[in-house]
Amino acid sequence: MRLSNEHMTKTALAVEALRDAILRGEITQDEPLTVTHLAVQLGMSPTPVREAIRTLQAEGLLRLEPHHSASVTQYSVKDIHDIFQLRADLESQATRLAVPRLNDSQIARLDDMQRAMREAAQRSDIEQLNRLNADWHLLIYGAAENRVLLEVVQHLWKKFMFEINWIQSDGAERSLEQHDRLLAAIHARDADAAALAIRAHIQRAEGVAIEYSESRMQRGAR
């Protein structure tokens, strides 16, 4: 498990490390997780680890087990479809609301970030790609000026690892091509076309997530 940012609180570090390990499959779905065991692994006191487990339970990544332990939530293919269907509905709505509100400076920033993502993809800089991609989408959705909608979208994001979009063969290029189509609709101030573009983008991500989940289940069955 990785602890990445020394400026974060210990609880936030524990949440990030555990979430990353869960989404990467480093913690198996049948592995009982106790505060004591995780605290030793993370080199922390039990208090921030206990708070991290509560946070991840609230996000749906962990579930309570008997005898004060937790385990990783197992998502079926239908669960994944349902999550991404909800994302498609909400993020297309946010995009439709955002397009007429985005100003020229914000659109120029989206163009700059898209170029930076292509450069990061050429360097295979997955961490930078993830950060830029999240900021790019948040800039669009934030322009919708609907705080509750944005919070729900971000909650759903936490259930899957974004980097699986980049590590598959030609995955980065395909995602960035879809970004290009969305950007073209934004430049044209075509809210309906932009909403359709983001829906297609998320539907493609659903297929990637299902394929990744199935491959993990197959590895676990061996």
pLDDT tens column, 174-220: 999 999 999 999 999 999 999 999 999 999 999 988 887 777 666 55
Q: What is the pTM of this model?
A: 0.79
For 86-89, which contacts have Cβ atoms below 8 Å and span 24 or more sequence positions? 86/156, 87/153, 87/156, 87/157, 87/202, 88/198, 88/199, 88/202, 88/203, 88/206
pLDDT confidence of residue 218: 65
pLDDT digits (tens, 9 = 90+) for 113-158: 999 999 999 998 888 998 999 999 999 999 999 999 999 999 898 8
pLDDT confidence of residue 216: 64
Q: Are residues 112 and 156 in the same domain?
A: yes
pLDDT confidence of residue 60: 82
CB contact at 8 A, 16 and 8? yes
Q: Are residues 136 and 213 in the same domain?
A: yes
Q: Are residues 88 and 186 in the same domain?
A: yes
CATH assignment of the domain containing 45: 1.10.10.10
Q: Are residues 34 and 65 in the same domain?
A: yes
Residue closest to 197 by CA, chosen among 140, 115, 159, 122: 140
Asked if the structure places residue 214 within a domain, the reply is yes
Asked if the structure places residue 85 within a domain, the reply is yes
Q: Are residues 56 and 94 in the same domain?
A: no
Would you tell me how many other CB atoms lie within 10 Å of the CB of residue 109?
A: 15
Residue 7: pLDDT above 80?
no
pLDDT digits (tens, 9 = 90+) for 25-66: 778 777 888 899 899 989 999 999 999 999 988 888 888 876
Q: Which residue has the higher pLDDT, 93 or 128?
A: 93
Residues 6+ positions from 50 with CB-CB distance below 8 Å: 35
pLDDT confidence of residue 44: 93
pLDDT confidence of residue 31: 80
Domain that holds residue 32: 10-72
Q: Are residues 68 and 85 in the same domain?
A: no
